[in-house]
Each structure stands twice: as C-alpha cells, then as structure tokens.
A and B are shown apart, each in its own frame.
Chain A
Amino acid sequence: MVVSRKVLFLVIVLVLISPIFGVILADMVGYHEPLDVAAEILGLNDITEDINWTPFLDYTVPGLPDVLGYIVSGFIGVGVILALGYVLKRFTSKEKV
C-alpha cells in the first residue's frame, strides 16, 4: 500500500467535507479566486477557458452538480497522486536505493 490507512482516512474525510468550504460557503459569500478578481478589475484577459484542455476545469465534473463534482474531482486528484506514488514506489523498489 502506498499510504497508511490512517492517512487515507484523513484524506477521504478532507475531500468529503471540502465542498462545504469550496462550493457552499464560496457561493454564500460570492467568492472568486483573488487573482481572477484582480484581472477583472484591471480588464486583463484570463485565457483559462479559451485554452482549456480538461473536462474537470475548476474541480467540476460535466453533468454533476457542483457539490458532487467537487467531491469526485477531489477523489480523482487524490487517485492520480497515489497512482504516481505507486509508480515511483515500483521504480524505487526495482532500483533498491
């Protein structure tokens, strides 16, 4: 196993509660990324959406409500990181560092 069960449990809890902060409270106070706000005030061109390559832009999942999409995005991100860790672990055990 790449990480211990305790750590995995903590990460799962963090992802499950993350929409409370990242979506629900954000909507309540009208939150936008600070640098995006600055760009809008200054009339800068944020080209993120123009050159976007991912269906998971801003931690959303197409077809899912924002809260659920945020949670699924969290698990996708954690899954990719742990997969990278698994590959690195295989690599290091072969090298016997």
Chain B
Amino acid sequence: MHIPDGFLDPITIIVTYAVFVCYMAYSIYFIRRKGVFTSERVSIVSALAAGIFAAQMLNWPIPGGTSLHFVGGGLAGILLGPHLGFLVLFIVLLVQCIVFHDGGITALGANVLNMGIVAVLTGYYCYILASKIWGESRKARLIGGFLGGWLGITLAGIVCGLEIGFSPAFPFGVAVTVPVMGVWHAILGVIEGLITAFVIDYVYLKAPHVVSYLKRVSYGGK
C-alpha cells in the first residue's frame, strides 16, 4: 500500500500533506493537553513501532505477483488511541520512507493519511463501538479487534484508490481504482483482522492496563 514517488499529481500531494500536517498538529495538541505522553507510554509507542516495522517486513508473497503483509494501523489505534496510535504509524512510515525509500517522499502525506490516520481511526472507533455493545468482554476484544483491523485496512485501501484514481498520471479513474483497491484489501484484510484480534486479546490478558488505557482516554480521563 506504500505509494511510491511519481504516482500522485501536485494537487493530491498538497491535499494529502495538508491533511496529514493538520492531523499531526491536532494530535500533538491533544497529547500535550491530556498529558498522555508519559515515559511508560513512550516505551509502548517505541515497542509497537518497532514491532509493526518488523512485522511489515514479513511480506507473504502470493503466486501471481502480489503480497500480503500486516499494516498495524488498526492495532495501534486500538492499543493507543487515535493520537498516540497515529504517532506509531507515522514513525514507522517516516523511517521506511527516509531510510529505505519504501513509499515516496512526495507520497508520504498520502501514505500517512491511509495507514496512519484512516486505518488508526477506524480501528479505534470499531473497538470503542464493540466495547459499548459488549462491555469489557473477550467477545468485544475479538470482534472489535477483528473489525478494527479488517475495516481499517479496507478503508485505507479505498482511500489509496481515491488518491491514485484522482491523479491524472493514472489512466483509470476512481471508478476503477477504488473498487479494485477496496475489494483486494477487503479480502487480504481478513488476515489483518485476525492478527489484530488475537494480539489485542493477548495483550489484554498479559497487560490489561495497556488496553484499558484506551477506554479511559475515550471517556475523558487520562
């Protein structure tokens, strides 16, 4: 899903960078105002970023020339909320772009928007919704985790389809790129959903305070 350089037109580049910068500014404001950027959570952000970076290197090639790999946006959103979760994916995407040129510098705004904002927010809200329906139960963790991971990557794929579809460089418009990207990511996203659900459940069993932190933030506490 990492869009390389040369795929997006200047308007799409400017719009996606603007969205990314505005969201980052709001996240920094939120993090400072809420005082959630404690030393312990910096450790969780670092650990999750390192884990997602390593997990993204495990490309599962599929005969026919494509691949599947874990993205982790939904997982970060569920574990750390929409702002610290964004920070995790931003760090991963920045390092991939600057150090390995995986994802273009002109497409960094779009890649952060897709994986760091859309996937993270979707994961977060799916999990909150599941928690409101089923409470702090295992059912909520598994269903919320699965939906967060699956829908997160699917919506990120659809937004990616919009970006490349609107770009004049692509001869096919959004009528082609959105369904192709959406359907493909909805199929591959099942694995993302399963991994997210099991990781959330595992983390809750081993360190419940990490997952419970999300509930406190979403309901107004620290």
Contact = CB atoms under 8 A, between A and B. Distances in A.
- Asked if chains A and B come from one complex, the reply is yes
Interface of A: 2-4, 7-8, 10-11, 14-15, 17-18, 21-22, 25-26, 28-37, 39, 42, 44-48, 51-54, 56-59, 70, 73-74, 76-78, 80-82, 84-86, 88-89, 92-93, 97
Interface in B163-182: 164, 169-172
Contacts of A7: 47, 50-51
A74 B55 CA distance: 10
Most chain A beta carbons < 10 A, residue from B7, B47, B54:
B54
A interface majority secondary structure: helix
Interface in B50-82: 50-51, 53-55, 57-67
Given A3-B47, A78-B50, A22 B35 contact: no
Size bracket of the B interface: 35 or more
Most chain A beta carbons < 10 A, residue from B5, B50, B98, B171:
B50
Contact of B170 (A14, A44, A84, A97): A44
A35 B7 contact: yes
Contact of A22 (B2, B3, B58): B58
A81 B48 CA distance: 10
B4 A42 contact: no
Contacts of B104: 48
Contacts of B54: 11, 14-15, 18, 74, 77-78
Q: Which 10 A-B pairs have the closest CB atoms?
A: A85-B46, A14-B54, A31-B61, A47-B6, A18-B57, A3-B47, A7-B47, A29-B61, A21-B58, A26-B61
